Amino acid sequence: MDIRHLTYFIEVAHHRSFTKAAQALHITQPSISKMIKLLEDELDVTLFYRSAKQIELTDAGKALLYQSQQIVNSFQNLTSDLADVINSKKGAITIGLPPMVGARFFPQIISDFTTLHPQISLTLLEVGSQKVQVGIDDGSLDIGVVMLPIDEDIFEMFPIVNEPMMLIVHPEHTLAEKAIVDLSQLKDENFILFRKSFTLHDNIINRCIESGFTPNIIFKSSHWDFIAEMVAINFGIALLPRIICKDLDPERIKIIPIAEPMIHWNLGVIWKKDRYLSFAAKEFINFTSKRFDTNLKI
């Protein structure tokens, strides 16, 4: 038995299909079938049985799957660790950033980091917090920024921002001259929200429901500047973080605080707990935490 046997077995178990596993591994189906048969003969067990529509794991297969995943993960950690040594601390990081976060906080950080570590390449993906968490959990992202709180059984994190959300309206809106508003005063308004993949989407809706109404959403966008522009033409109202509102034209948009309990834009940098972190990822986490006065050292 070698690591390749276990890798092939995991793929078949994952896809519940020899054909799909073979396609994913870019080998022929007979090759993967032969490999599984050799593994069954060596262990003297049956790992799969065929149901009407697909193959299923036997009890022995389920037991082997759990152990195989641990072994393959350990092997990958080992090879990654060795790569850091062999490659003299070269590396690559894939980072997930919600659009508001990337544009506001990270251009200078990224510029300074790449100057300090020219052999580390950064790939940035602009996606909402929910997709960032999914990407970090499944390994397609190394690090990301999300809205807090998170599941601390799955992720490690450090906080970077905690900003109240502000109401923005057209200057001729009936609420434009208010010094402060309650969410309940917005029950008859037309809302412009971030898309569903943004945690703010659900947070705002849930807080409105707690205030006694379901918001009337007339438009959704992935970009805060587009949302602000829709408010500026009096298409509806929106809620944006206070730090973002500082960039808005006060002649075109009125910014109004929301009464307690406020909605907060609470952000943190996260990575997967108990997963190997490359030299590059560790350096980026340490570098970024210092910029936000957290000063981690991992």
Domains located in the chain, CATH noted: 3-86 (1.10.10.10), 91-160+266-291 (3.40.190.10), 161-264 (3.40.190.290)
The alpha-helical segments, DSSP class H, found in 89-194 are 99-105, 107-116, 129-138
Q: What's at 247, amino acid-wise? A: D
**0.75 exceeded by the pTM?**
no
Q: Are strands 91-97 and 143-147 parallel, antiparallel or unpaired?
A: parallel
The structure tokens 């350096």 sit at: 283
Please give the angle made by the CA atoms of 104, 110 and 111, to the nearest 5 degrees. 105
Phi/psi of residue 206, nearest 5 degrees: -65, -40
Q: How far is CA 5 from CA 10, 130, 157, 233, in A?
A: 9, 34, 35, 62
The structure tokens 């690591």 sit at: 3
- Residue 163's SS3 state is strand
Structural contact between residues 191 and 211, judged by C-beta atoms closer than 8 angstroms: no
Spatial CB neighbours of 247, under 8 Å, sequence gap ≥ 6: none
Show pLDDT as tens, one digit a residue, over the chain (298 residues): 788 888 888 989 888 888 888 888 889 988 888 988 888 888 899 988 877 677 889 999 898 888 888 888 877 777 776 666 556 467 889 999 988 887 788 999 999 999 998 888 999 999 888 899 999 999 999 999 999 999 999 999 999 999 999 999 999 999 999 999 999 999 999 999 999 888 899 999 999 999 999 999 999 998 899 999 999 999 999 999 999 999 899 999 999 999 987 899 999 999 999 888 888 899 999 999 999 988 777 8
